Amino acid sequence: MRKRVRGIHEVFASDPARADWEVWGRQADPSTRRGFLKGLGAMTALVGSKIVFSDFMPAGLIPAAYANQAEPFAIEGKDGLTVLNDRPLCAETPAHLLNDDVTPAHRLFVRNNGLPPEDVDGRNWTLTVDGESAADTKTYSLGDLKERFENVSRQLVMECGGNGRSEYDPPASGNQWTVGAVGCPRWDGIRLRDVLEDCGYRDDTVYVAYYGADRTADGGVPISRGVPMAKALEAESMIAWGMNGEPLHPMNGHPLRLVFGGWPGSTSGKWLSRIAIRNIVHDGPKMTGMSYKVPCEPVAPGTEVAPEDMCIIEAMPVKSLITYPQSGYQHPVGEVLSLHGHAWTGDNQVERLDVSIDFGRTWIRADLQPPANRLAWQNWDLDLEFPEAGYYEVWARAADANGDVQPVVLPGWNPRGYLNNACHRIAVYVA
């Protein structure tokens, strides 16, 4: 359920400088289905055909083809996602639809900052590597990348830095993600470092930045971020063309993207066309200012923080999900309930996963699996028994090898609402 819907005016009034795509897209309201259908392109894609008399179509009209469907908005090749915004398109996956140990493409969330490229031709796609610290400027075709470098497949967690934002109070503007801006597909591609080494880089390299083929409405670059060189050189840092043996979904960056497991999703550039090897901390759109940053020192909720006191988010915090059963589940009294879920943590490994059915008074240790490879999420299972009939909340809490434990209540408030790793909880009715 959406807690609140922020109007565009409210957002601009509170921060007039933020005239970017994140706030342009009116927050869609699923209860009325208004706000989804903006722009002829979006509407045509939705209806699946040219709208012949589109010139005469009243603004805000919901096409009859969709007016009576239970799902207010369907994204081709995705299934069951909740759309938070249609322009740019942002959609998350309900927790119970993330139950697969390897996230299928149709269940991976979508977070777009601009308009994706249309009519992508993978055969003619190229990737250029350049920058102040590059020894050479090189351009590779997709075929070059596939043939010249060792192909690898890795399961890597992709999570938006703003996952969980909807719970913060005072609220933060931006997509009101609940828990589902996360997934862990098996990515197919090559190591980023093999390409960096092929191109060559100087000792003064600081950052590796990306540019993608998506654009803002007026043709600008919506987002261009990256990672420090040390992260770029890790064996798990990938340039990927596929997911679970299939080409990337168009909304997840087809035909080429970066994947940095365990770091904010915003570092994993989609529709990748250029990599810049930089001798400074990259300064592209959404690297500077307040985006993807948290206060360097904790602040009281609602505090105004100066941009120079904000630090770039690197590894994501320890977190977990209960993916079976779905919240609200009715369970027969006297029977065992087999829970399932996943746990993950930035650059590290999860060491334990505990479950409580008594609001955190006591905790029961779940059976936690090792990751399929470094920076993959870890699956967990627990057979639960309930003492009597009634309403229960099941809480899950992960702890990692750094000694970090998920907070039961909200973690530190921050102006843009990032890094909410509070325990996931579900309702279970035993009867």
CA neighbours closer than 13 Å in the CB half-sphere of residue 334: 0
Task: Report the residue number, 289 or 360, with the smaller CB distance to ligand MTE.
Answer: 289
Compute φ and ψ for 21, nearest 5 degrees. -70, -25
Q: Give yes or no for residue 176 binding Mo ion (CB under 5 A).
A: no
Q: Give yes or no for residue 252 binding ligand MTE (CB under 6 A).
A: yes
**Residue 331: CB minimum distance to ligand MTE, A:** 32
What is the pattern of x (binds ligand MTE, CB under 6 A) and - over residues 97-116? -----------xxxxxxx--
Q: How many Cβ atoms from other residues are within 10 Å of residue 244's Cβ? A: 16
SS3 42: helix
**Residue 64: CB minimum distance to ligand MTE, A:** 30
Pick one of Mo ion, ligand MTE, none as the site partner of residue 340 (Cβ within 5 to 8 A by kind).
none
**Residue 39: CB minimum distance to ligand MTE, A:** 17
Compute φ and ψ for 379, nearest 5 degrees. -85, 145
Task: Report the residue number, 114 or 325, with the smaller CB distance to Mo ion.
Answer: 114
**Residue 112: CB minimum distance to ligand MTE, A:** 5
281/133 Cα distance (integer angstroms)? 12
223/285 Cα distance (integer angstroms)? 5
Task: Report the residue number, 265 or 325, with the smaller CB distance to ligand MTE.
Answer: 265
Choosing from 72, 131, 212, 417, the residue that interacts with ligand MTE (CB under 6 A) is 212
Output b/e per residue, 50-66; b: 16+ Cβ within 10 A.
eeeeeeeeeeeebeeeb
> What residues are paired with 34 via a beta bridge?
29
- Contact segment (CB under 6 A) with ligand MTE among 57-65, 170-178, 269-277, 405-413 equals 269-277
In 5-112, which residue ranges form alpha helices assigned H by DSSP?
A: 8-14, 21-24, 40-47, 64-67
Q: Give yes or no for residue 270 binding ligand MTE (CB under 6 A).
A: yes
**Residue 174: CB minimum distance to ligand MTE, A:** 10
Q: Are 333 and 366 in contact (CB under 8 A)?
A: no
Dihedral of CA atoms 382, 315, 424, 95 in degrees, nearest 10, equals -80
Binding residues for Mo ion restricted to 86-115, rule: CB under 5 A: 111
**Residue 413: CB minimum distance to Mo ion, A:** 19
Positions in the binding site for ligand MTE (CB under 6 A):
108-114, 158, 160, 212, 214, 222-223, 252-253, 265-266, 268-271
Positions in the binding site for Mo ion (CB under 5 A):
111, 160, 265-266
